[in-house]
Amino acid sequence: MSLRGRRVIVSAGPTFEDLDPVRFIGNRSSGKMGFAVADAAARQGAEVVLVAGPVALPTPANVTRIDVRSAAQMHAAVLAALPADVYIGAAAVADFTPRAVAPGKIKKQAGMDTLVLELVRTPDILAEVAVHPRRPRLVVGFAAETDHVEQYARGKLEKKQLDLIAANRVGVAGSGFESDENALAVYGRDGFERALGPAPKIQLADNLLELISTRLG
Ligand code: CTP
Ligand code: CA
């Protein structure tokens, strides 16, 4: 199976939500899994657009990379990259962002023992792509969970109207964030189910893309 002639959009990495000019709220995504997925898609012949949050990773060969910082920027870049045959949402998108970015550095005041931040929801990029008028034929999500992995992943698969979701357990040694190894459980809305790994992220990405290209036919 090959992805020649197919256009694949991958989002990867964390997003950073600025509080002021020197601080942000971020998360522990290294971007390695998403970059491996983009690399695998390109090696299987696809035209690949990689929308990347702030990560320190080299761009895979034959991949068009668009760098973004915030969830709002990632949202705009992914929608602008449509149409595509496949969208793979591998980014750890911030769920909340500060209501406003302070124009100057936030300073402590005497007697200020707590700081309350007001955060507002970010757009759900994956859920939006899945109901978009130019919906890709396959919309694939990731779910990083610390517990009840299958239950939460299946819930997201249904709620966001995805075709596939790749779930992994995070917060345990040797898998998930920052690690080079991972294990995925892939669930389809049509009842499909497959365990991949534990294996290096590069190999998992290859297996996931093979699965995707088989489904595209
Ligand atoms: N996602 C997205 N936009 C968001 C939040 C999540 O596109 N604003 C995507 C992620 O890229 C991932 C999938 O949704 O592919 C699941 O992300 P996850 O954080 O596991 O799920 P949430 O729906 O955000 O639920 P929660 O964090 O509450 O578990
Ligand atoms: Ca989330």
Distance CA 194, CA 211 (A): 10
Provide the token pair at 71.
């969830």
Please, are residues 191 and 164 in contact by the beta-carbon 8 Å criterion?
Answer: no
Annotated domain spans of the chain: 7-98+118-216
- Longest CA pairwise span in the chain (Å): 65
Q: Which helix (H) or strand (E) holds 121?
A: strand 119-121
Mean pLDDT of 34-54: 98
pTM: 0.96
User: What is the distance in A from the centroid of ligand 1 to the CA of 144?
Assistant: 8
Query: pLDDT for 122-161, tens place per residue?
Result: 999 999 999 999 999 999 999 999 899 999 999 999 999 9
The CATH code for residues 7-98+118-216 is: 3.40.50.10300
- Complex-level ipTM: 0.99
- Backbone φ, ψ for residue 6 (5° rounding): -100, 145
- Give residues (CB < 6 A) around ligand 1: 71, 89, 91, 93, 95, 122, 124-126, 141-144, 156
Query: pLDDT for 103-123, tens place per residue?
Result: 999 999 899 899 999 999 999
Mean pLDDT of 21-46: 96
Of 172, 200, 199, 195, nearest in space to 185 by CA: 195
Residue with tokens 């595509």: 84
Q: What is the pLDDT of residue 182?
A: 87
Which ligand has its closest atom nearest to the C-alpha of 12? 1
User: What is the distance in A from the centroid of ligand 2 to the CA of 112?
Assistant: 30
Q: Which residues are catalytic?
A: 27
Please, are residues 8 and 86 in contact by the beta-carbon 8 Å criterion?
Answer: yes
* Residue 190: pLDDT band with limits 50, 70, 90: very high
Q: Using CA positions, which residue lies closest to atom 24 of ligand 1? A: 95
